[in-house]
Copies of this chain bind each other. A is one copy, B any other.
Amino acid sequence: MNLIELLVPLLGVAGLMVAGLVFKKIMQQSGGEGTVADIAQQIHQGAMIFMRRELKILGGFTILVGGLLIFKDPYEALAFFFGALCSSVAGVIGMFTATKANVRTALAASEHGAARALTTAFFGGTIMGLTVASMGLIGVGSLFLFFGSSEHDIHIIHGFAMGGSLVAIFFRVGGGIFTKAADVGADLVGKVEAGIPEDDPRNPGVIADNVGDNVGDVAGMGSDLFESYCNAMIASMAIAATLAFSKVDQLGGDAHALIFLPLALASVGLLCSFTGIAIVWLSSSRDPARALRTGTLGAALIFILAAVGVVASLGVSLKVWACVLSGSVGGILIGLSTEYYTGGRPMRSIAKAGLTGVATVMIRGVAVGLQSVAIPLVVVASVLLAASSLAGLYGVGIAAVGMLATIGITMSIDAYGPIADNAGGIAEMAGLGKEVREITDSLDEVGNTTAAIGKGFAIGAAALAALAIIAAYVNVITANHDGFALLLSDPRLLTGVFLGGLCPFLVSAITMNAVGDAAQEMIAEIRRQFREIPGLLDGNAKPDSNRCIDIATNAALKRMILPAAIAILAPVVIGFGFGPETLGGALVGALLSGVLLALMMANSGGAWDNAKKYVEQGNYGGKNSDAHRACVVGDTVGDPFKDTSGPSMNILINVMAIVSLVIAPLL
């Protein structure tokens, strides 16, 4: 056991301690009393109740899958349980703290102004960011200590990835359905029918909507990124373990150094995240948008420079460092393209289409989404080509690690968004006044832009991670079957391409239908309450928020099972039913159609959302104009696109790939 290698999990523990300190600092701020505290408590409890029920179902699945895995390798099963545990812990901690930070952000805005509110929301998100990164380092790092030095044991670490992925698909899909069922339902009756503002306390669906931000955008997003982060590392390690000697020699260093490199990069990435967080903290009193941007880009830049040292000190060729660079540059380009489509001219063309009604808003928004896949796919293809020509498929994995190494800060900013959003909701519901709402709105807006970039980043990284896992899968199969080749002209493989390609469409349909059904149920319930509870619309009676939370919870828990089952079972059925060639084709098919759908849905949804906001700023008739009404519908349709179905794609392709990698030796 090398001392430096021991440092990786210890650094993870240190990260958790920093997160703990940040939490303590946040809790020192006032949590309010009376109505404010009451509303915050309702959101917190709703989220925790959902999480408890979700974990129960997830626990059953974990025991089932893990139990089967014991027959393959008991250690791998253990790693699987460990992975599931780490991912769940990260999600629970992140969500718990987010539901404490939201009210404190609202109160900070009310008592101390924008700068203090920004730091409160950002530090709330920081806990999630640091926890995700730390749990990843603790998990993968400690498994590496035990199993990393033997080529024959390294497959055990795959179990960890599978555990994290299993949790992620449940958290992401369940959380995504919950949050959008509540959001769509509350918006359609509240904003569109009853004409009351967003987050109005008279709307029975508003608490559920705010709960949804936490279970979907915090816990769901966290487990999603945790999974991409760990999968990128583990895939690179797996490829490194099966590299031929000649190749190892070409890349410099020894096989062990190549296996350790992803962990070393991620560790340094965490240190860079600390720095980025400090930058945001120190510069938050000025322009908040700039603070967040400087922090993220600063961390990424320092990381790229530091990576030279890491690569060199392990004796690895600087070609591998160039892969890190290509991954980071690619991530930024995808982010910028996302920003353009969801915030630039294409977004404004949607707003303009509002002048001719809902139909043209819809057509335009779908077209924007379809178009927006081009640049990211060209970028992913370029990174793939560049990294693989520099260092083979190992380079592709390393590029993904490079993209995700500063997850500590990028995830912080992702989680900051929903906290700011929730703070706005609490401010509105508790009647903290217009200025407070304006502060939280401005924070939320900043978060939206950075979140859009983060989303593009996440999709790109997930695609590269999946590619790396697929490469590892091919390596394992090739090692076990002499003369095995995945030939594109093989009809079995082409069959797989079709079968795999339909999975993302099917899962998107299921999740979108789940949101549609639950939203329709929610709408009926909110209409009923407006009708049957006397004095509700005048503000003289309280709505029954719990009924709405129940509807969203039940829908999410019931409807998350099928997508998860498809993700896990599809590779098993295809692999054992048709053989490894078909499964190889299926992984590529699923990857392509998943990435296409993920990008299209995220960007259509984001563009619709921002087009509505653009009209609200006074363009094309401003608030309450016909264009605005048309764009509100666009935004509502975009909700499940961007927050339910779209993000599920990242995990779907990763789960399918990791399950294939785990079952590969059995095929």
Contacts and interface: CB of A to CB of B under 8 A. Distances in A.
Name the residue in A489, A493, A515 with the highest tally of chain B Cβ atoms < 10 Å from its Cβ.
A489
A59 to B, nearest CB: 30
A506 B363 contact: no
Interface in A490-537: 491-495, 497-499, 501-502, 505-506, 508-510, 512-513, 515-516, 519-520, 523-524
A34 to B, nearest CB: 36
B520 A353 contact: yes
Interface string A332-364: 000000000000000000000101111110111
B471 A364 contact: no
Contact of A501 (B358, B377, B585): B377
Interface stretch (A44-52, A80-88, A586-594, A611-619): A586-594
Contact-size category for A: 35 or more
Contacts of A588: 488, 494, 497
Contacts of A633: 357-359, 362
Interface stretch (A145-153, A195-203, A204-212, A378-386): A378-386
A188 B493 contact: no
Contacts of A554: none
Given A188-B356, A633-B359, A393 B516 contact: no
A492 B385 contact: yes
A388 interface: yes
Given A363-B515, A509-B370, A633-B359, A385 B596 contact: no
A389 interface: yes
B486 A474 contact: no
A640 interface: yes
A359 B184 contact: yes
A485 interface: yes
A487 interface: yes
Given A488-B493, A498-B384, A596-B505, A512 B373 contact: no
Contact of A377 (B188, B369, B499, B513): B499
A505 B600 contact: yes
A468 to B, nearest CB: 11
Contacts of A494: 381, 384, 467, 588
Given A497-B588, A505-B596, A396 B513 contact: no
Nearest to A367: B512
Q: Number of copies of this chain in the oligomer?
A: 2
Contacts of A220: none
Contacts of A488: 474, 486-488, 493, 584-585, 588
A19 interface: no
Contact of A362 (B362, B370, B396): B362
B393 A506 contact: no
Given A502-B378, A516-B367, A596-B593, A487 B485 contact: yes
Contacts of A377: 498-499, 501-502
A257 to B, nearest CB: 23
A552 to B, nearest CB: 16
A499 B493 CA distance: 19
A265 interface: no
Contacts of A368: 509
Given A487-B488, A520-B353, A495 B362 contact: no
Interface in A422-436: none
A491 B384 contact: yes
Contacts of A593: 501, 592-593, 596
A523 B353 CA distance: 11
A368 B508 CA distance: 10
A557 B505 CA distance: 33
A395 to B, nearest CB: 9
Contacts of A491: 384-385, 388-389, 393, 396
Contacts of A378: 498-499, 502
Contact of A370 (B370, B495, B512): B512
Contacts of A519: 356, 360, 363
Contact of A486 (B364, B370, B396, B487): B487
A577 to B, nearest CB: 11
B501 A596 contact: yes
A593 B360 CA distance: 24
B356 A523 contact: yes
B188 A516 contact: no
A283 interface: no
B520 A381 contact: no
Interface string A600-626: 100000000000000000000000000
A523 B358 CA distance: 13
B516 A360 contact: yes
A650 to B, nearest CB: 16
A498 B380 contact: yes
A366 interface: yes
A316 interface: no
Nearest to A393: B491
Contacts of A284: none
B353 A516 contact: yes
Interface in A462-489: 467, 471, 474, 485-489
Contacts of A218: none
Given A362-B362, A520-B360, A489 B471 contact: yes
Given A374-B505, A384-B491, A467-B494, 17 more contacts: A188-B360, A353-B520, A359-B636, A360-B520, A363-B516, A364-B513, A366-B637, A367-B512, A377-B502, A378-B502, A381-B498, A381-B499, A384-B495, A385-B492, A486-B488, A488-B588, A497-B588
8 contacts: A188-B360, A192-B357, A355-B520, A367-B509, A367-B516, A374-B506, A384-B491, A592-B592
Interface of A: 184, 188, 192, 353, 355-360, 362-364, 366-371, 373-374, 377-378, 380-381, 384-385, 388-389, 393, 396, 467, 471, 474, 485-489, 491-495, 497-499, 501-502, 505-506, 508-510, 512-513, 515-516, 519-520, 523-524, 584-585, 588-589, 592-593, 595-596, 600, 633, 636-637, 640
Top 3 A-B pairs ranked by shortest CB distance? Answer: A371-B509, A388-B491, A486-B488
